Structure 1
Amino acid sequence: MTAVDRAQLILDEVADRVLSELPKGAVLFDAHTHLGDDIDGSRSRPEDMLAMFDRYGITGSFAFCLDEPDRIPAFTAANDRTLAYAREHPERIFPFVRLDLQERPVEEATRALDLGARGIKLHPRAQGFSLGDERLGAVFALAVERDVPILIHGGRGLPPIGDHLAALVDRYSDARLIIAHAGIADLGGLAGHFAHVPGVFFDTSLWSVVDLIDLMRQVAPQQILFATDYPYGRMPNSLLLALRAARLSRFGEEEMRGMLGTTALAILNREPLPALTAPRGADTLTLPLPLARIHQYISTATPILWMRLPDRAMGLGLALNAAHEANVDGVPDADLIRRALSVAAEIWDGLAAIEDPAELDHTARYARILCHICDILAVTTTAD
């Protein structure tokens, strides 16, 4: 059995575990997915995404195109493909129109909404605009007029965006806004502006479980939406991250069900939104030191893993050593962390021998996914 085969067995084990942790009666809905081809080489097709959904019981998703090679003019061709995918799967794919402020954004949004789009996607980093851009006002006005949500990139690659976004929400108070990637570009600023603001939400599509826990201590549980960012975010990681962070933040069962899908479905169906309650999370995060060391070393290795470079800083090796120390015995999930890191290290050691780029990317992804799972478990395992 190859290391990749063993990695898949571990992922199947984690999948079964995370599904067993779902609250009773939970309906899963993914608030952030992509379909298409990105200029960075990423690729996503409905059949692959829906196969993942079937494995985990995800009923559907908000979906929009990637930063496509044929995005000029106005993302028209890419938006049309998203609409076509949605027509093929009308009960599972709910299309958003992606806009470029440089190219007739209101006209393209109106065209796509008339053809069945259910929301608007904005990506200020990829499309190179500021949240202070005056043209955003017309987009927000259209979203309010047509009663559709706006999902906006709030992750890496941006300056602080809270003040500009707050000005837009103040001006268009009926807007429903989903800030992607937990708003990590300006987490404190965004949470400070929007905690307990009805109609403003944050999705869970991010890498760092620590960031998500920090967000959950600042905003209402009803403002959090489960999301993967597929094809960038994968399962079971995305679901494990959201569930474990919410458990650690002391979400109740109804709050968990809302995060996992019912709130997003209310947004989609224009139904009344849940009343906002107080944040649940604690102001501090306490970890057993062995798990803190594992988290630290995985954090050291993560950029190298993404770039598929040799682990010269030995972050992965040190994480594995820490996981094998005797003082980790008795810690929940310690055995799973050990096994997953061992397989990840074996995969990483073998990457230099792989010449085919597609095979290299496929194989390296297993190591990244396993390390990510270990990091989530190391930070949250005391929640058990």
Structure 2
Amino acid sequence: MKWIDAHCHVGQGIMNGLDADKLLADMDRLEIEQAVILPWDRAIAVDNEEGNMFTLELAAKYPDRLISFCTVNPWFGYRALEEIDRCVALGTKGLKLHPPYQGFQISDPFVLPIIEKALTYSLPIYIPTGTPVAAMPMQLAYVADLYPEGTFIQGHFGFPDFWIDSIPSVEHRPNIYVDIAYNAISTIEHAVKTLGAERVLFSSDAPYLSLDNEIDKLLSLSITEEERQLIGRDNMKAILEGGRR
């Protein structure tokens, strides 16, 4: 079975780093077909242009394997909007916002123009959740209700502090998917049972988590092979192709 990793990082961050050659070697070994790549921590927080260019160049070099999502800090205002335009022109396939790194709450009003800009290009929007007070599942639910036409990915499924809010925040919102990195097998199985496998995405958040361990966790789930295929590949493939399952 082939997989698509919905979220990992390349480059050297403060705590950890991963270069493209190592990522591609791990992908070959683990039969990961494609991976969505984001830059390292500093580039997410402040040096957006540098980080985005790095991932865009890698995606252009390995177009069948690596997929670039761009990132912008909403505090940069018009400059952030222009950066989305630039990245789309160069081939980005999605947007990541990171409230704890970038210093805002998901529901802050000045974030909405960034989301609206991304949605003019039909970009899926990835936002990690689980960190108070900046990034909580119900804040993402509020934004998803404002933009039902958008496709949102609830990163880390509320881990570690707000996992209990994750199911209620997405249960009746078909425009939110959940990314299961960091979560326990029992939590993931509960998400599949409650939300359906069509709403769940495999990701590794490498190098902060182990690709091997996250693949092992996906293989260990007590679900059908059809459900595993949806989580491991088909749901993210549909998102990248501009649709929903």
TM-score by length of 1: 0.59
CA distance in 2, matches of 1:209, 1:253: 16
Instruction: Kindly indicate whether the alpha-carbon contact (under 8 Å) linking 2:5 and 2:204 is maintained by their aligned counterparts in 1.
Output: yes
* Alignment RMSD: 2.0
- Give the superposition deviation at 1:259: 0.4
Question: Secondary structure of 1:135's partner?
Answer: helix
TM-score by length of 2: 0.90
- The one-letter code of the counterpart of 1:50 is L
Whichever of the two has the greater Rg, that structure is 1
Question: Are 1:263 and 2:235 matched, yes or no?
Answer: yes
Question: Are 1:41 and 2:15 matched, yes or no?
Answer: yes
- Give the superposition deviation at 1:196: 4.6
- Give the superposition deviation at 1:211: 3.5
- Give the superposition deviation at 1:233: 1.6
CA distance in 2, matches of 1:225, 1:69: 25
CA distance in 2, matches of 1:224, 1:263: 7
Q: Deviation per CA, 1:250-287: give whole Å up to 9, x if none.
A: x332221110101101111124x32xxxxxxxxxxxxx
Alignment-derived partner of residue 167 in structure 2: 191
2:207 to 216, 231, 238: 231
Higher relative contact order (CA 8 A, sep 6+): 2
CA distance in 1, matches of 2:45, 2:179: 25
Instruction: Kindly indicate whether the alpha-carbon contact (under 8 Å) linking 2:4 and 2:233 is maintained by their aligned counterparts in 1.
Output: yes
**Distance change (3 Å), C-alpha of 1:51 and 1:196:** farther
Higher strand share: 2
- Give the superposition deviation at 1:156: 4.3
Question: Are 1:177 and 2:149 matched, yes or no?
Answer: no
Alignment-derived partner of residue 219 in structure 2: 243
- The one-letter code of the counterpart of 1:259 is I
**Distance change (3 Å), C-alpha of 1:67 and 1:35:** same
CA distance in 2, matches of 1:160, 1:217: 25
CA distance in 2, matches of 1:270, 1:97: 16
- The one-letter code of the counterpart of 2:228 is M
**Distance change (3 Å), C-alpha of 1:188 and 1:48:** same
Question: Secondary structure of 2:204's partner?
Answer: coil
Alignment-derived partner of residue 226 in structure 2: 254
Alignment-derived partner of residue 28 in structure 2: 54
**Distance change (3 Å), C-alpha of 1:153 and 1:56:** same
What pairs up with 1:293-332 in 2 under 5 angstroms? none
Alignment-derived partner of residue 144 in structure 1: 119
- Give the superposition deviation at 1:111: 1.5
Long gaps (5+) in structure 1: 1-25, 275-384
Question: Are 1:202 and 2:178 matched, yes or no?
Answer: yes
Instruction: Kindly indicate whether the alpha-carbon contact (under 8 Å) linking 1:71 and 1:78 is maintained by their aligned counterparts in 2.
Output: no
Question: Are 1:132 and 2:132 matched, yes or no?
Answer: no
- Give the superposition deviation at 1:56: 1.0
CA distance in 2, matches of 1:262, 1:84: 25
Instruction: Kindly indicate whether the alpha-carbon contact (under 8 Å) linking 2:127 and 2:152 is maintained by their aligned counterparts in 1.
Output: yes
Alignment-derived partner of residue 41 in structure 2: 67
Instruction: Kindly indicate whether the alpha-carbon contact (under 8 Å) linking 1:204 and 1:242 is maintained by their aligned counterparts in 2.
Output: no
Identity level (%): 25
- Give the superposition deviation at 1:216: 3.3
Count of aligned residue pairs for this structure pair: 242
